[in-house]
Structure 1
Amino acid sequence: MSEIILELDNVTAHYGRIQALRGISLTVRQGEIVSIIGANGAGKSTTLMAICGIVKVSSGDVRYQGKSITSTNADLLPSQGLCQVPEGRRIFPRLSVTENLDMGAFFRKDQAAIKQDMEMVYHLFPKLKERRKQPGGTLSGGEQQMLAIGRALMGRPKVLLLDEPSLGLAPLICQHIFKIIRTINRESGVTILLVEQNANIALQLSNRGYVLETGSVMLEDDAKSLLANPEIRKAYLGD
């Protein structure tokens, strides 16, 4: 069994006086795709932001590669291989596609390797290569999601945190995005922690999953078992 690369141990977090996370514990092993599913407001995105240091952890610990990162500044984590694709993409709308991708490698100095990685991103997302000189804000929603993922890949992540990659996208575009996510995991060995409202497609993609309700982990299992669980199917899969 592969080693644990990311771990949350009894993590709590607050927005002011409102407790958003209530003792979240989860593990992600190297090379896995792990999904976090749950209803709106369950704490899924907050969990990712707590990992990244965007939301301050009130208690508990976040460990990455065996070391606590609970007090690490958020801007230092990408250079350590922990990269997030935020909900809503958040690309730079006035910068070109190429300039957006360059921003993903802002902390790197290996220019030859950066050029290779950009070609890799263009290979994964040919539409981005076609539009490489266009401002990011002129792209479609699906293309902007591709750009946000490509920008994160330019940081050469060991762990990629994906927050609602299907949000607002048409079903065919979603299928394409998730196909690329699987390719990134299988061909590049990137570990992926995925927050996704579309529980069905997320679990089909994943090795394991966690179900969150009101800031707590209610269930953890391998993805196939969660897909077959009648309660999960009724609550999250539309059965």
Structure 2
Amino acid sequence: MDAPILELRGLSAGWGRAPAVKELDLAVAQGEIVTIIGANGAGKSTTLMAISGILKPMAGQVLYQGRDASTVPPEELPAMGLCQVPEGRRIFPRLTVAENLDMGAFRRRDHDAVRRDMDRVFELFPRLKERERQQGGTLSGGEQQMLAIGRALMGRPRLLLLDEPSLGLAPLIVEHIFSIIRRVNETEGMTVLLVEQNANLALKLAHRGYVMETGRIVLSGTGRELLDNPDIRRAYLGE
């Protein structure tokens, strides 16, 4: 593997006194799609929160482009190319689609490039173009997920963190969103770390994967290796 854009070294983190994730070692190389799968409560979302600086590590390190990310204020990380699409989308419901997208580029001053990037988001998600002047809160769940991803793309991320993008969405919408994730990875070289309960979809999309149970990584391998693993198939694919 090439030098990692993201590396977790012995990371422990949580919301209370006891860590929800314990001594995690994980690496993501530039240009990869890596997924973390596991049951509810395994610690997947907590891991992303620690990477994006919302949670400070109890122990260990989060290294982003070789730098200890825990020393960087979380609001500064998007300007360094680390952007997260949180679980539940968390768009701005009273802002229009276009205004939500503008918020993803709020630190940028290259206005012409921002306009081109918005056009690119509308190319990826034509439904958002149709609703450009509509308030975000009036969109369907799938459209809000498209908007949340589009808002993150407006920051021109080098590393995109996605937390449960398929949650609560119809299969056709999920298929479209996953195809866009693959497209931006293949055409723009964007690195993606995906947390996902839909193990089948996630492992088919990802180059590599990690399996979490009760706060620890218990297995890792290529997406294909994990898909072919009979224990994974029984535990996460219902076979």
Question: How far 1:17 sits from its partner (Å)?
Answer: 2.0
Give the gaps of 5 or more residues in structure 1. Answer: none
- Counterpart in the other structure of 1:185: 185
- Counterpart in the other structure of 2:214: 214
- Counterpart in the other structure of 1:66: 66
Question: How far 1:18 sits from its partner (Å)?
Answer: 2.7
TM-score, normalised to structure 1's length?
0.99
Give the gaps of 5 or more residues in structure 2. Answer: none
Is structure 2 residue 171 aligned with structure 1 residue 154? no
Is structure 2 residue 235 aligned with structure 1 residue 226? no
- Counterpart in the other structure of 1:123: 123
Separation in 2, partners of 1:184, 1:49: 23
Matches within 5 A, 1:1-239: 1-239=1-239
Separation in 2, partners of 1:20, 1:195: 15
- Classify the secondary structure of the residue corresponding to 1:203: helix
- Classify the secondary structure of the residue corresponding to 2:233: helix
Separation in 2, partners of 1:34, 1:105: 25
- Classify the secondary structure of the residue corresponding to 2:11: strand
Amino-acid identity (%): 64
Q: Which amino acid aligns with 1:209?
A: G
Q: Which amino acid aligns with 2:21?
A: L
Question: How far 1:14 sits from its partner (Å)?
Answer: 2.4
Question: How far 1:15 sits from its partner (Å)?
Answer: 1.7
Question: How far 1:127 sits from its partner (Å)?
Answer: 0.3
CA RMSD of superposed structures (Å): 0.7
Superposition misfits of 4+ residues, deviation over 3 angstroms: none
TM-score, normalised to structure 2's length?
0.99
Q: Which amino acid aligns with 1:139?
A: L
Separation in 2, partners of 1:120, 1:199: 29
Contact 2:83 2:160 (C-alpha < 8 Å) held by counterparts: yes
Q: Which amino acid aligns with 2:138?
A: T
- Classify the secondary structure of the residue corresponding to 1:134: coil
Contact 2:207 2:222 (C-alpha < 8 Å) held by counterparts: yes
Separation in 1, partners of 2:35, 2:26: 11
